[in-house]
Chain A
Amino acid sequence: MVSPPLIYVLLMLAFPMGAIILFSFWTQEFMTLDTTFTLANYREIWEKPIFAALLQRSLFVSGCVTLVTVILAFPVAYFVSFHVAPERKSLWLFLITIPFWTSYLIRVFLWKVILGYNGVVNTGLIKIGLIDEPLTFILYNVNAVIITLAHAFAPFAILPIFVALEKIDRSLLEASQDLGESKFTTFFRVTLPLAMPGVVAAVLIVFIPTIGDYVTPELMGGAGGKLVANMIQTQFLALNNAPLGAALAIVAMICVTAISLLFVFLNRRWLRGRS
Chain B
Amino acid sequence: MTGLIQLNGVNKYYGDYHALRDIDLTINEGEFFSLLGPSGCGKTTLLRTIAGFEGVSGGVVMIGGRDMAGVPANQRPTNMVFQSYAIFPHLTVAENVAFGLRKRPDIDKSTAVDAALDMVGLSGFGHRVAHALSGGQRQRVALARALILKPQVLLLDEPLSALDKKMREQMQVELMRLQRHIGITFILVTHDQEEALVMSDRIAVMFDGKIGQMDDPETLYRRPKTRLVAEFIGKMNFLDAMVKDADITVDVQGLGTCVIAPEQAPSGVTLGAGAVGIRPETLAILFDGETTDRETIQGTVAEVVYYGDMTYYDVTIAGIATPLNIAMKNLIGRPVLDVGDATTVVWDARSLVLLPAAA
Is there contact, CB below 8 Å, between B90 and A178?
no
> What are the interface flags for B199-240 relative to A under an 8 Å C-beta threshold, 1 for contact and 0 otherwise?
000000000000000000000000000000000000000000
- A156 to B173 CA separation, bound complex (whole angstroms): 52
Determine how close the nearest CB of chain B comes to the CB of A171; give it in whole angstroms.
4
- A198 to B78 CA separation, bound complex (whole angstroms): 33
Is there contact, CB below 8 Å, between A180 and B72?
no
Count chain A residues whose beta carbon lies closer than 8 angstroms to a beta carbon of B: 21
Interface members, chain B 78-100 (any A CB < 8 Å): 78-80, 82-84, 86, 88-92, 99-100
Count chain B residues whose beta carbon lies closer than 8 angstroms to a beta carbon of A: 28
Determine how close the nearest CB of chain A comes to the CB of B92; give it in whole angstroms.
7
Interface members, chain B 124-164 (any A CB < 8 Å): 129-131, 145-146, 149
Q: Tell which of A179, A273, A275 touches B79, judged by Cβ atoms closer than 8 Å.
A: A179
Determine how close the nearest CB of chain A comes to the CB of B186; give it in whole angstroms.
15
Is there contact, CB below 8 Å, between B90 and A174?
no
Is there contact, CB below 8 Å, between A190 and B103?
no
Interface members, chain A 172-193 (any B CB < 8 Å): 172, 174-182, 189-190, 193
Q: Tell which of B53, B79, B90, B146 touches A194, judged by Cβ atoms closer than 8 Å.
A: B90
Known: A180-B100, A272-B129, A273-B129. A175 touches B90 (CB 8 A): no
Q: Determine whether B104 belongs to the interface, using a CB cutoff of 8 Å to chain A.
A: yes
Which residues of chain A are near B145, meaning CB under 8 Å?
179
- A159 to B107 CA separation, bound complex (whole angstroms): 42
Q: Determine whether B74 belongs to the interface, using a CB cutoff of 8 Å to chain A.
A: yes
Q: Determine whether A169 belongs to the interface, using a CB cutoff of 8 Å to chain B.
A: yes
Which residues of chain A are near B51, meaning CB under 8 Å?
178
Q: Determine whether B258 belongs to the interface, using a CB cutoff of 8 Å to chain A.
A: no
Q: Determine whether A42 belongs to the interface, using a CB cutoff of 8 Å to chain B.
A: no
Which residues of chain B are near A169, meaning CB under 8 Å?
84, 86
Q: Determine whether B166 belongs to the interface, using a CB cutoff of 8 Å to chain A.
A: no
Q: Tell which of B73, B83, B102, B131 touches A275, judged by Cβ atoms closer than 8 Å.
A: B131
Which residues of chain A are near B104, meaning CB under 8 Å?
180
Known: A176-B99, A179-B145. A275 touches B89 (CB 8 A): yes
Sample of 10 further A-B pairs with CB below 8 A, known A181-B103, A193-B90, A273-B91: A178-B51, A178-B78, A178-B79, A179-B149, A180-B149, A181-B100, A182-B72, A189-B99, A273-B129, A273-B130
Which of B's residues lie within 8 Å of A, judged by CB?
51, 53, 72-74, 78-80, 82-84, 86, 88-92, 99-100, 102-104, 129-131, 145-146, 149
Across the A-B interface, give the 3 residue pairs with the lowest CB-CB distance, nearest first.
A179-B100, A275-B131, A273-B129
Q: Can you report 5 residue pairs joining A to B where beta carbons are below 8 Å apart? A: A174-B53, A175-B80, A175-B88, A178-B146, A179-B145
